[in-house]
Structure 1
Amino acid sequence: MRVIDLSSAIDAGAWEVDGIKHEVLTPAEGARHMAEGMLRNHGIAFDIADLPDGELLSLDTLTLTTHTGTHVDAPSHYGSMAAYGVPRHVHELPLEWFIGPGVVLDLTDGGVGTIGAERLRRAFADIGHTPSAGEIVLLHTGADRLAGTPEYFTHFAGLDGEATNLLLDLGVRLIGTDAFGLDAPFPHMLSEFQHTGDHSVLWPAHFAGRQREYCQIERLANLGALPAPTGFTVQAFPVKIVGAGAGWTRAVALLD
């Protein structure tokens, strides 16, 4: 089996809207930390010189949002109320949603702004395949080439409401994108709203999740490495964080 990594890294050295704090306790510091803790909490003295090289184990502490790096948005992220009942958190979702046949759509001509339903239909025609229930649809916009830069958060294309609902009408429950978000960039949506006064242009892909239960995988990467638009399995199990609206995932494509 061939495995293709579709995940972007969580990197404290890269530019992020919300920032990342990554603190590292080295193996040597970990040894001292353990010895001090054993003496303080249990009254047991331990000489770290008895450890190989005077080292124990490293420890990483990170401060970040659940929307940093490749992650799955759960229905509770879209709002506190939904037409179908109380939206579920990420730890409550069926694992079966996060493994299944993949379909990648080439939307690299999308530029900056919105991708409509007609553009999706052309993408279906290009590959001779229309997604169906149980399939995981991945949108290859090419936005991941800007990852780690401020432009990554503003220069991409996202789905409008009609395009999102087209996929949901087909029975798709998991939609992925290599962009920062499944909606158009914030400045684009807000500019459209100020120009038109149309509330439907504001986060339509996310707000569609208030009407029908579905999930997104955001901030994917490397979708261009997939050798064909179909014929692979996507696996993107989210981390089980109780009460969270999103969870990090190591998304991969599996090919026989």
Structure 2
Amino acid sequence: MTTAPHRAHFDFSITFANGGGMHGEGFRLDLPREDLSAEEIGTLLVRHLGLALVDEVHLRDLRIVEEPHRGSRGVEAPSGGGAEDRIVDLSHPIEAGMITYPGLPAPTIAPFLTRAASRERYAPGTEFAMDVITMIGNTGTYLDAPWHRYGDGDDLAALDLRTLVGLPAEVFHLRDAWSPERRGIRAATLADRDLRGSAVLLDTGWSRLFGTPDYAEGAPYLTEDGARFLVEAGVRLVGIDSLNIDDTESGGERPAHSILLAAGVHVVEHLTDLDAVPSRGARFTAAPPAIRGFGTFPVRAFATVPASH
């Protein structure tokens, strides 16, 4: 049995043994447990910020609240205890007529062989349904391979499953970190962790609008400098629960797609329910069918969350 996650809210002042200092207001920090002293929280703060030669740490207006963790460094998940892992489905179900992206066709589903008709082909008591779905690859929750952007890039059939299955999930819970006036997710927001080999998942909360007209306007996105940072950090996949990894309201340029896919970093768009996945410790899977000459297709994206979370 696990306890609820807690975070500390505080202002701070730090002085350094070799001179100088720094201050912060309204800082928030994940806690491994709720009964930490101010001194222990100060030590966690230093570890999280990666500071050296610290002399003194002073915290002010310290409050400890029950709140989901955001991925502070120095706060590791507890080890497991025998319960089963949890699977979190991060995909939107596909159904006839659904609109994923404005202007793209909705899927149609029609029977090829109905159950009633199949009874004439099989033994008594045996029946089957066979159906035909017609849809664009950009439907529901889908993955972009390099071929989606570049004619000489890998198509869906060429993707290495090691880059799609069981990736360490680094979830950035950003629902309180962007605004309609500042929709772009920048490199600095993603710079507090080691991301090499991971699936970086951007939880903006925008998926709550999926299927409504509001989903298409004012959506959060990854900035160009954010995309470059993730490539340099060595990530394998970037996912977002928004309309697009790029800002579709800034014209025809698509810097995030261009940068990520040129580097072989897969993109997954239209994720959902990322708030149910911890900041660290889960594994992410999003594997499309192996289709030659195709660059985008729906995936059943999911996170495997250890029982200890």
Correspondence for 2:159:
93
Q: 1 CA distance for matches of 2:118 and 2:179?
A: 48
Aligned partner letter, 1:115? I
Asked if the contact 1:72–1:249 (Cα under 8 Å) also holds between the matched residues in 2, the reply is: yes
Q: Distance in 1 between matches of 2:179 and 2:198?
A: 26
Q: How many residues align?
A: 214
Larger Rg: 2
CA shift digits 1:167-208 (9 cap, x unpaired): 111000200111121112x2x212xx8xxxxxxxx2111111
Distance in 1 separating the partners of 2:268 and 2:94 = 15
User: Which SS does the other structure have where 1:61 is aligned?
Assistant: strand
- Contact 2:227–2:260 (8 Å) recurs in 1: no
Deviation at 1:19, TM superposition (A): 1.1
- Contact residue 143 and residue 155 of structure 1 kept, 8 A: no
- Partner residue of 1:27 out of 87, 96, 115: 115
Establish whether residue 107 from structure 1 lines up as the match of residue 174 from structure 2. yes
What is the DSSP-based 3-state SS (H/G/I as helix, E as strand, rest coil) of the residue aligned with 2:294? coil
Cα distance in 2 for residues equivalent to 1:232 and 1:163: 22
Q: Distance in 1 between matches of 2:266 and 2:241?
A: 15
Separation in structure 2 between the aligned mates of residue 218 and residue 111 of structure 1, nearest angstrom: 20
Superposition deviation, residue 161 in structure 1:
0.9
Uncovered stretches (5+) of structure 1, i.e. residues with no partner: 36-47, 81-85, 125-129, 194-201
1:250 corresponds to 2:276 = no
Unaligned segments of structure 2, at least 5 residues: 1-84
Letter in 1 for 2:190: L
Whether contact under 8 Å (1:117, 1:162) holds in the other structure is yes
Output aligned runs, 1:152-167, within 5 Å: 152-167=215-230
Question: Do the aligned residues in 2 keep the contact of 1:101 with 1:232 (CA within 8 Å)?
Answer: yes
1:78, 1:209 within 8 Å by CA — same for their partners in 2?
Answer: no
| Equivalent-residue separation in structure 1 for 2:239 and 2:286 (angstroms) | 10
Residue of structure 2 equivalent to 1:171: 234
Residues in 2 aligned to 1:73 and 1:131: alpha-carbon distance in whole angstroms: 24
Q: Secondary structure at the match of 2:92?
A: coil
Residues 71-86 of structure 1: matches in 2 within 5 Å? Answer: 71-80=142-151, 86=152
Secondary structure of 1:148 counterpart: coil
Instruction: Verify the 8 A CA contact 2:139 2:297 in the aligned structure 1.
Output: no
Q: Say whether the 8 Å CA contact 1:141–1:156 is kept in structure 2.
A: no
CA contact (8 A) 1:72 1:217 kept: yes
Q: Secondary structure at the match of 1:189?
A: coil
Rate the CA distance shift 1:78–1:209 in 2: closer, same or farther, 3 A.
farther
The CA RMSD measured in Å over matched residues stands at: 2.0
- Name the one with the larger helix percent: 1
- Whether contact under 8 Å (1:30, 1:59) holds in the other structure is no
Q: Does structure 1 retain, via aligned residues, the 8 Å contact 2:106–2:135?
A: yes
Which of 119, 137, 149 matches 2:189? 119
Q: 1:244 to 1:211 in 2, by over 3 A?
A: closer
Per the TM alignment, residue 245 of structure 1 is displaced from its structure 2 partner at its CA by 0.4
| Residue deviations 1:29-65 (CA, integer Å, cap 9, x gap) | 3335xx4xxxxxxxxxxxx6x521xx62111211111
1:235 shift after superposition: 1.3
Q: Between the two structures, name the one with larger relative contact order (CA 8 Å, sep ≥ 6).
A: 1
Aligned equivalents of 1:205, 1:119: Cα separation in 2? 16
Is 1:222 the counterpart of 2:273? The answer is yes
TM-score (normalizing by structure 1) = 0.77
Q: Select which of 147, 163, 180 maps to 2:210.
A: 147
Q: Who is 2:135 aligned against? A: 64
SS in 2 for 1:22: strand
Q: Assess, with a 3 A threshold, how the Cα gap between structure 1 residues 133 and 29 changes in structure 2: closer, same or farther.
A: same
Name the SS for the 1:14 alignment partner: coil
| 1:167–1:210 Cα change, 3 Å | closer
Give the corresponding residue for 1:132. Answer: 195
1:5 to 73, 86, 89: 89
The alpha-carbon distance between structure 1 residues 239 and 154, as it changes in their structure 2 partners (threshold 3 A), is: farther
Distance 2:200 2:243 in 1: 16
> Matched residues in 2 for 1:233 and 1:209: separation?
21
